[in-house]
Amino acid sequence: MDFASRLDKVKESATFKYSSLAKREGILNLTQGLINYRTPSRIIEAAERAMREGKTSYTPTKGIPELREKIALKLEEENNIEALGPENILVSAGAKQVIFEAVMALVDRGVEVAIPNPSWVSYEPIINLAEGRIVWLPLKPEEGFIPGDDFLSELENSNPKLIFMNSPNNPTGAVYPKKVIEDIVDIAERKNAWILADEIYEKIIYGEEHFSPASVYDKTITVNGFSKEYSMTGWRLGYCACQEKEIIDKMNIIQSQSVSCATSFVQYAALEAFTKEVKSEVKGMVADLRDRRDLLVEGLDATGLLGYKPGGAFYVFPRLGDGDDINLADRLLEEGIGVIPGSPFGSLGRGCVRISYGFVSRDKIKEVVEKLSAIEL
C-alpha cells in the first residue's frame, strides 16, 4: 500500500512491543515503564467531581489557568526556575506530546538535534518524523551512564539547535550531577542551542539532588508530567515550561491543530497532585521503589551483572554481553523473564537490556536475580 515515506524512519515502540509479549502467564514482567501503585484516591475523586460538575468541555488550548498557575509556582519553588507565569506553561496530553510539539516547533529537515546514546526510545523517532539530523552523544556503562568527556566533546564538535537531557534517566536510571548539567549548559549557551530537559522522573530519585538546567539557562524547555510521579500513565497529562514564552506560543499552535487540549476533567483532577496529602503518598511510594532498587542492584552486583548504581527512575540497564540484545531479550523471555532489549535505545545499548522494577514485588526481584544468575548469558 501507498503510505507516507516518513513512516520508513519510524518503527513501532520497542517498549510497547516487548511489554505486550511479557504479559503472558508465568513471565516475570520487567518491561513496564510504570509502577504498580494506584493513582492517589484524592486525584480520582477530584476527576469524578469535575465530571459531575460538567467540567467536560474543551479547555483553553494551553490548559486551565488554575493548573498552569500551580505548575509555574511549583517550578519556581522546587526547581528554582524564576519569572514563570501561567503564560509560560503548556499543558498537554502527556509529556510525549509536549516533546513532539517542541521538536515540531524547532526542527526543520537537516537541523541537528543532540541526544544521549542510549536515550528513551521515542526521542529518535520523533526527531526522524521532523526529518532532523541526530547527533548521538555517547554514554558509557563504566561511567554509570553519566555524561563524561566523550559525550561533552561530541557535543562541542556538533552544531545542534536542540539538546536533549533526561535526568533521572530512562533507560539507565542515572542521575546527572549538577556539575555535569552545568557543563552541558555551558556548551548550549555558547552554541545558542535550546535544551529540552525531560524531568518526568524528577521525584523518583534516591537521595541525590535533582538540578534543573532552566534555573540557570533561559533557553531550556522543561518537560514534566503526572504519569510517573502520580502513577497516572493512562490519564495522559504532561506539561512544559519555558522562560522564553515564544516557544510556548509556537508549540501551542501545533497543539491547537492536533490534540486541541488535554482532557478537561483530568486537568481539574491534577490540581490535587499539589496537595501535601498526595505529595506525602508519593514519598512513601518512592521509599518503596528505593528498597526495590537496592535489592535489585545488590543482587545483580553480587553476580557481576551491573557495575553501577542508578540514582533514580525505576530502571537498571545492565550490559549482559557483546551479543545481539534482541536475541538476548527473546531468550530471556523463553526463560520466563520479560525485559526490553537495549539497542532500540541507541546503538550503545547493544548488549544491554532495560530492567524495570516499577511493577514487581521484592520477592519477584529476588526470583529475577536468581534466574538471571543461573542463565548462561
Ligand X SMILES: Cc1ncc(COP(=O)(O)O)c(C=O)c1O
Phi, psi dihedrals of residue 103, rounded to the nearest 5°? -65, -45
Binding mask 144-173 for ligand X (x = CB under 6 A): ----------------------x---x---
All 3 cell numbers of residue 107?
A: 526542527
To ligand X, the closest distance from the beta carbon of 232 in angstroms equals 8
To ligand X, the closest distance from the beta carbon of 340 in angstroms equals 11
Q: Which is nearer to ligand X, 227 or 255 (CB)?
A: 227
DSSP bridge pairs for 239:
91, 224
DSSP bridge pairs for 113:
134, 162
DSSP bridge pairs for 221:
196
To ligand X, the closest distance from the beta carbon of 91 in angstroms equals 11
Q: Can residue 233 be called a binding residue for ligand X (CB under 6 A)?
A: yes
Q: Can residue 32 be called a binding residue for ligand X (CB under 6 A)?
A: no
To ligand X, the closest distance from the beta carbon of 44 in angstroms equals 18
Binder to ligand X among 33, 213, 299, 310 (CB under 6 A)?
A: 33
Distances (CA, A) of 310 to 45, 205, 213, 339: 35, 9, 20, 17
Task: Please work out, in degrees rounded to the nearest 5, the angle formed at the alpha carbon of residue 80 by the alpha carbons of 74 and 81.
Answer: 80
Q: Can residue 349 be called a binding residue for ligand X (CB under 6 A)?
A: no
Residue of minimal Cβ distance to ligand X = 94
Q: Which is nearer to ligand X, 240 or 297 (CB)?
A: 240
Binder to ligand X among 18, 100, 120, 206 (CB under 6 A)?
A: 120
Binder to ligand X among 144, 225, 341, 358 (CB under 6 A)?
A: 225
Are 105 and 96 spatial neighbours (Cβ–Cβ below 8 Å)?
no
Q: Which is nearer to ligand X, 151 or 201 (CB)?
A: 201
Nearest Cα residue to 164 out of 114, 118, 225: 114
Binder to ligand X among 59, 88, 212, 227 (CB under 6 A)?
A: 227
Q: Can residue 100 be called a binding residue for ligand X (CB under 6 A)?
A: no
Helix (H) or strand (E) holding 222: strand 220-225
To ligand X, the closest distance from the beta carbon of 338 in angstroms equals 16
Q: Which of residues 266-305 bind ligand X (CB under 6 A)?
A: none
Q: Which is nearer to ligand X, 19 or 299 (CB)?
A: 19
To ligand X, the closest distance from the beta carbon of 194 in angstroms equals 17
All 3 cell numbers of residue 352?
A: 544491554
Q: Which is nearer to ligand X, 33 or 138 (CB)?
A: 33
Q: Can residue 92 be called a binding residue for ligand X (CB under 6 A)?
A: no
Calpha distance 11→81 (Å, rounded) = 36
Q: Give me the helices (H) in 62-135, please.
A: 65-79, 95-106, 123-129
To ligand X, the closest distance from the beta carbon of 196 in angstroms equals 10
Q: Which is nearer to ligand X, 22 or 369 (CB)?
A: 22
To ligand X, the closest distance from the beta carbon of 152 in angstroms equals 21
All 3 cell numbers of residue 196?
A: 529540552
All 3 cell numbers of residue 7?
A: 513512516
Calpha distance 67→268 (Å, rounded) = 7
DSSP output for 22-57: TTSTT-EE---SS-S-PPPHHHHHHHHHHHHTT--S
DSSP output for 291-309: HHHHHHHHHHHHTTS--S-
Q: Which is nearer to ligand X, 29 or 166 (CB)?
A: 166
**Look-up of cell digits 530492567:** 355
Binder to ligand X among 62, 68, 96, 293 (CB under 6 A)?
A: 96
% helix, strand, coil for the chain, step of 5 = 45, 15, 40
Binder to ligand X among 95, 139, 214, 254 (CB under 6 A)?
A: 95
Q: Can residue 316 be called a binding residue for ligand X (CB under 6 A)?
A: no
Q: Which residues of the shown chain bind ligand X in the complex (CB under 6 A)?
A: 33, 94-96, 120, 166, 170, 198, 200, 225, 227, 233, 238
